[in-house]
Amino acid sequence: MADAKAAGTETTRRGALAWLLGAWGLFGGACAVGAGAMGRFLFPNVSFDPPQTFKAGYTSDFEVGKVDERFKAKYGVWIVRNDEEIYVLSTTCTHLGCQPNYLEAEAKIKCPCHGSGFKPTGINFEGPAPRPLERFRIVLAEDGQILVDKTKKFQYELGQWDQPEAFLKV
């Protein structure tokens, strides 16, 4: 002991605690980095989901009074044209998120999961759905095509269907 003291290499209580604290801190930090890396691992940089924004062709491609189902499977939207406007309707049921079917003969949108029914306008009229289907942003692109943007939604119950870009005047 005396030799160690003389040589200045004696382990003091304070020194041991500092060493322990440093070691545990390093270990804890490494674990935190590892946990963070594992969490990040589950969120890939490339998504194979269809893009949120897409071009849907020209206004003349859409018949008046028809619910266009061409973009349902890939993008999850109906594009509807009536006498005055074109609007984009979400195919996600507002009850629990299933995908309803458009029944042309009955001119209604019907969800197979729990029976919610919607008019082609998106207004709910039967079943458990608490609110109308959502609509998405629709504008004309520079080349004259319809541009659908699913990142911006318009909700009837919030009075947003009258806002610009919630529909396209034709």
Q: What are the C-alpha distances in Å from 4 to residues 7, 10, 16? A: 5, 5, 15
Record the tokens describing residue 4, joined without a space.
């160690």
- Residue span binding another protein (CB under 8 A) among the ranges 8-16, 67-75, 94-102, 160-168: 94-102
| Type of residue numbered 114 | H
Give me the least distance between CB of 17 and another protein, in Å please.
32
Nearer to another protein (CB atom), residue 39 or residue 159? 39
**SS3 at position 80:** strand
Of 99, 121, 155, 160, the one binding another protein by CB under 8 A: 99
Instruction: Match 């979400």 to its residue by tokens.
Output: 90
DSSP one-letter string for 27-75 = HHHHHHHHHHHHHHHTS-SS--SPPSEEE---GGGS-TTEEE-TTHHHH
Q: Which helix (H) or strand (E) holds 168?
A: strand 168-169
Count of Cβ atoms closer than 10 Å to residue 76 Cβ: 15
Interface pattern 23-62 for another protein (x via CB under 8 A): -------------------xxx--xxx-------------
- Residue span binding another protein (CB under 8 A) among the ranges 55-63, 91-99, 102-110, 132-140: 91-99
Of 1, 12, 63, 97, the one binding another protein by CB under 8 A: 97
Give me the least distance between CB of 122 and another protein, in Å please.
19
- By CB under 8 A, the count of residues binding another protein is 13
CA dist., res. 120 & res. 126, Å (int): 13
96 touching another protein, by CB under 8 A? yes
- Residue span binding another protein (CB under 8 A) among the ranges 11-19, 29-37, 57-65, 95-103: 95-103
Binding site for another protein (CB under 8 A): 42-44, 47-49, 76, 96-99, 112-113
